[in-house]
Amino acid sequence: MNWGQNAFQYHDNQLHCEDAPLAAIAETVGTPVYVYSQAALLERAAAFVTAVPPNTLVCYATKANGNPMLLRLLAEAGLGGDVTSGGELFLALHAGILPDKIIYSGVGKTQAEIEMALDARIRALHVESEMELGTIAAIAESRRQIARIGVRVNPNIDAQTHPYISTGLHGHKFGVNPERAMAMMQQAANHPWLEPVGIAAHIGSQITKLSPYAETAQFLIGMADELAGMGIALDYLDMGGGLGIDYNEPQLTKNIQQSTPSIGDWVTAVSEPIAKAGYNLVLEPGRSIVGPVGALITRVVYTKEQGGKQFIIADTGMNDLLRPSLYQAHHPIWPVNKASVVRHPSSVVDIVGPICETSDTLAKERPFPPTEPGDLLAILQAGAYGFAMASNYNGRLRPAEVLVNSDQFHIIRQRQTYQHLLDGAA
């Protein structure tokens, strides 16, 4: 079974994750609940591992979904980790990701976080400013420990994605421009306690075209060749992550029109030029591994008509899944029980949450079959940046997370209780 693309499917009008009925999971665990397919996760991880050339390191971007069980499965599948805070480094190590497979990116690493990375002896810290390089150098020197570093370059390449998740243009806070990156690499090469090992670029997220990557690859190769001319030989070029997934209604239509490149196509596009130029590759995919693997299951609390509009009010909202509110992102939403869809025409509705914000909308003006309080809905493509961006806003509890393996399911994170709202409080 090819779960990697289609982990959520109807059998007899009942939506399943693999072979487990979502209604049974909701009944047992309650709602809202994030449900993940183990088979889909492993298939997608394997798609990376088998497609990359030898000596490539695939560092899963843990920010996309840091659930400890999912991280452990990805570690066992051979993936490394791209971390962006002390907390993510802690989670990556806890999951058993080998330190040599961990890279640390981010514009604001504190001294304590740098010390933590050096303690763990991770593969490299990816530096994003001269000031940060100075801090790492001072810490490395005082510890008398070599710090392996890469410099994150801002290539000024337009990723052609949502402005909030585009990161590779000069006006963005990420990385440094190429001239400064070259100077920083030289400075590192001349420093007794720094070892420059790579250069990195991450131009953005939810990218659906390959051309910005071709441009980025040429850009990094050009820089690496120049560095080689200066006597600085690199271990790797890091092309970042950013491969988009299909947030349209992928499985309802029979003739699936793939609007995003496949994992294999992306890996080929990013790895071929780099391998040809004789460099090793690092990748940092997040969304493309976990996005399609997860759905957020919610129960309808009420329906309501107002101002000529129909609202479906769900028991989940922007506190659990921020993407629609923050980026006007479209997530497919399907009824868990499809029986009514077959018999009744759809009407146009807004599917909203219980949060006291007008932007707390999961779907706007969406054709949807008749729905009643108590019905279950599945918000698809929610495995990436779903739970990871969840909050306790409005005093709401973070949802449970469940992992499905065939027809079995296990809670891999308990729903919070009201006691959690008092955590750490005086």
Whose tokens are 């729905």? That residue is: 371
Which residue type occupies 127? V
Among 37, 85, 288, 298, binds ligand LLP (CB under 6 A): 288
Contact 184, 176 (CB under 8 A): yes
Q: Which of 31, 85, 105, 216 binds ligand LLP (CB under 6 A)?
A: 105
Q: Is 212 in the site for ligand LLP (CB under 6 A)?
A: no
Residues 212, 410: Cα–Cα separation, whole Å? 40
By beta-carbon proximity to ligand LLP, the closer residue of 65 and 371 is 65
Q: Which of 15, 57, 58, 61 binds ligand LLP (CB under 6 A)?
A: 61
Site for ligand LLP in 151-170 (CB under 6 A): 165
Which listed residue (109, 323, 331, 398) binds ligand LLP by CB under 6 A? 323
Determine which one of 356, 422, 425, 426 is catalytic. Answer: 356
User: H or E stretch including 221?
Assistant: helix 211-229
What count of residues does the chain have?
Answer: 426
Q: Using CB under 6 A, which of the segments 61-69, 297-305, 336-344, 364-372 binds ligand LLP? A: 61-69
β 333-335/309-314 pair status:
unpaired
Asked if residue 82 binds ligand LLP (CB under 6 A), the reply is yes
Does 261 participate in binding ligand LLP (rule CB under 6 A)?
Answer: no
| Alpha-carbon gap, residue 269 to 279, rounded angstroms | 15
Size of the site for ligand LLP (CB under 6 A): 22
With respect to ligand LLP, which residue has the nearer C-beta, 178 or 241?
241
Residue 59 appears among annotated catalytic residues: no
**Which residues between 362 and 401 bind ligand LLP (CB under 6 A)?**
384-385
For the chain, percent helix, then strand, then coil, each to nearest 5?
35, 25, 40
Phi, psi of 10 (to 5 degrees): -85, 135
3-state secondary structure of 357: coil
Other CB atoms closer than 10 Å to residue 160's CB: what's the count? 13
Residue 72 CA to residue 65 CA, distance in Å, equals 12
Q: Is 316 in the site for ligand LLP (CB under 6 A)?
A: no
> Measured from the CB atom, is 21 or 241 closer to ligand LLP?
241
Q: Which residues bind ligand LLP (CB under 6 A)?
A: 61, 63-64, 82, 105, 165, 202, 205-206, 240-243, 284-288, 323, 327, 384-385
What is the set of active-site residues?
Answer: 356
